[in-house]
Amino acid sequence: MNKPVLDVKDVPSFGQLVTLSLQHLFAMFGATILVPYLVGLSPAMALISSGLGTLAFLIVTKWQVPAYLGSSFAFITPIIAAKAAGGPGAAMIGSFLAGLVYGIVALAIKKAGYRWIMNLLPPIVVGPVIIVIGLGLANVAVSMAMNGPDGKYSLTHFSVAVVTLAATIMFSILSRGMFSLVPVLMGIIVGYVYALAVGVVDLSGVAKAKWIEMPDFLLPFVHYDVRVTLDIVLLMVPVAIVTLSEHIGHQLVLSKVVGRDYIKEPGLHRSIFGDGLATMISALIGGPPKTTYGENIGVLAITRVYSVYVLAGAAVLAIAFGFLGKVTALISSIPTPVMGGVSILLFGIIASSGLRMLVDSKIDFGDKRNLVISSVILVIGIGDAVVKVSEQFEVHGMALAAITGIVLNLILPGRPKVSDSVFEQKHDVA
């Protein structure tokens, strides 16, 4: 580990705090607002809930773990399905239950240690499931990129997506310094400017919006009735299997970046509970589920600024942005093909990170056991297979793929043992 510029508990000057916090805000901004854009939730609530969730995470982890929590891509398809089945309230109930699973897992880890969860979620299960998340959303990204508001193919709209995608790739690969940290945001800006030039942006909402405006909170018992159904549970809760593994991978990477063993202190149970609490808080106010962000871990690695106060500053700024009506209206005016262009790359990166997890973990596909598990997960997940016992009991695509992968890993002979040292487990920043 390189010597930190600011260590975890170091307090930056006011000027440093504002500048460095803005950098983290920009790093998470593009991906965090993309999720609510895709699932039909409020971008303002995504920002506010990410800020509140991050502050809750920092408190639960005793201000020892510098992490930012943004919108989770793993829940995109389940949220869309839950909204179709029971409205936005159903999606929020499902998100809350998924967060509750985190709390149960955290309690189990505190009592029994972490080895059991590593046995349950090895890379041969999680890698293919992450690939399913990315490739399962491919049709969504391409449709957003190619089609106009009427749902028909539009060359003009497709050109907007191509320009956005090209700009995002260029900033990701060729840029240096600050711009290299925010390629998604820069791609959206370039795409937006091009969309303005070709006349596919409607700015009427920005002109009408107030500078300070109350965001669209979505509160239980106020905006929807709380009713837990088996459909909601089966749609949302199994996704926690994937995001839990993602969380563990991020904690391992963050430990190496910062030079502290976060699995032991403050403990994996605390960070998992903090992640789950952030998701529950988000669900209670109308935001998407939360996850620790690899983008912000990348900022920590590059800047060597590990101060938790900087992450807290980014969280406060995100909350403030959520109440700026002009900002929210400007976000809402981003044309669909701009987000489609960005999504082509982002969803591909999600799938590729699953592949990289398999490579980094040195999974041997000459072993028929590994070949069988990964093959079944991929086809069930991407094919969106459904087990339908009755009208009230269904398990869909990604959730079914994850459950199947876990069962196969447990029952097939030749399962490798988990190392006594969690740091010997290979994980990648997703």
Query: Average pLDDT in the 341-361 region?
Result: 85
Q: Which of the residue ranges 181-185, 247-251, 265-269 has the most confident prediction, judged by mean pLDDT?
A: 265-269
Q: Which pLDDT belongs to residue 420?
A: 46
Query: Average pLDDT in the 316-330 region?
Result: 91
| Burial tier of 293 (Cβ tally within 10 Å: 0-12, 13-18, 19+) | buried
Q: Which pLDDT belongs to residue 426?
A: 47
Q: Which pLDDT belongs to residue 2?
A: 62
The answer to the question of residue 174 being in a domain is yes
Q: Which pLDDT belongs to residue 393?
A: 65
Domain span at residue 208 reads: 14-411
User: What's the structural domain count of the chain?
Assistant: 1
The mean pLDDT of the chain is: 88
**Coil, helix or strand for 389?**
strand
- The more confidently predicted of residues 134 and 417 is 134
Q: For residue 214, what is the DSSP state?
A: -
Q: What is the dihedral of CA 418, 419, 423, 426, to 10 degrees?
A: -50
Percent of the chain with pLDDT over 90: 46
Q: For residue 264, what is the DSSP state?
A: I
Q: Which of the residue ranges 64-68, 223-227, 329-333, 339-343 has the most confident prediction, judged by mean pLDDT?
A: 64-68
Per residue in 99-119, pLDDT (tens digit) is: 999 999 999 999 998 888 878
Inform me whether the pLDDT recorded for 263 exceeds 80. yes
How many other CB atoms are found less than 10 A from the CB of residue 316? 16
Q: Which pLDDT belongs to residue 386?
A: 84
If pLDDT is split at 50, 70 and 90, which confidence band does 428 have?
very low
Q: Which pLDDT belongs to residue 409?
A: 93
- The more confidently predicted of residues 357 and 211 is 211
Per residue in 393-411, pLDDT (tens digit) is: 667 777 788 889 999 999 9
d(CA 11, CA 371): 50
Torsion sign, CA atoms 319, 320, 326, 327:
negative
Query: Average pLDDT in the 231-244 region?
Result: 84
The answer to the question of residue 95 being in a domain is yes
Angle between helices 14-39 and 308-322 (to 10 degrees): 50
Quickly list H helices, 225-335: 230-236, 239-258, 268-285, 294-303, 308-322, 325-332
Percent of the chain with pLDDT over 70: 94
Per residue in 32-49, pLDDT (tens digit) is: 888 998 899 999 999 999
The answer to the question of residue 427 being in a domain is no
Q: Which pLDDT belongs to residue 74?
A: 85
d(CA 225, CA 227): 6
Inform me whether the pLDDT recorded for 425 exceeds 70. no
Torsion sign, CA atoms 374, 376, 380, 383:
positive
The answer to the question of residue 311 being in a domain is yes
Query: Average pLDDT in the 416-425 region?
Result: 56
Q: What is the dihedral of CA 84, 85, 87, 90, to 10 degrees?
A: -130
Inform me whether the pLDDT recorded for 97 exceeds 50. yes
- Residues 324-327: contacts with CB within 8 Å, 24+ apart? 324/211, 324/212, 324/213, 325/209, 325/210, 325/211, 325/212, 325/213, 326/206, 326/209, 326/210, 326/211
The answer to the question of residue 5 being in a domain is no
The answer to the question of residue 421 being in a domain is no
The answer to the question of residue 425 being in a domain is no
The answer to the question of residue 340 being in a domain is yes
Inform me whether the pLDDT recorded for 421 exceeds 60. no
Q: Which pLDDT belongs to residue 349?
A: 83
pTM for this model (two decimals): 0.82
Length of the chain: 430
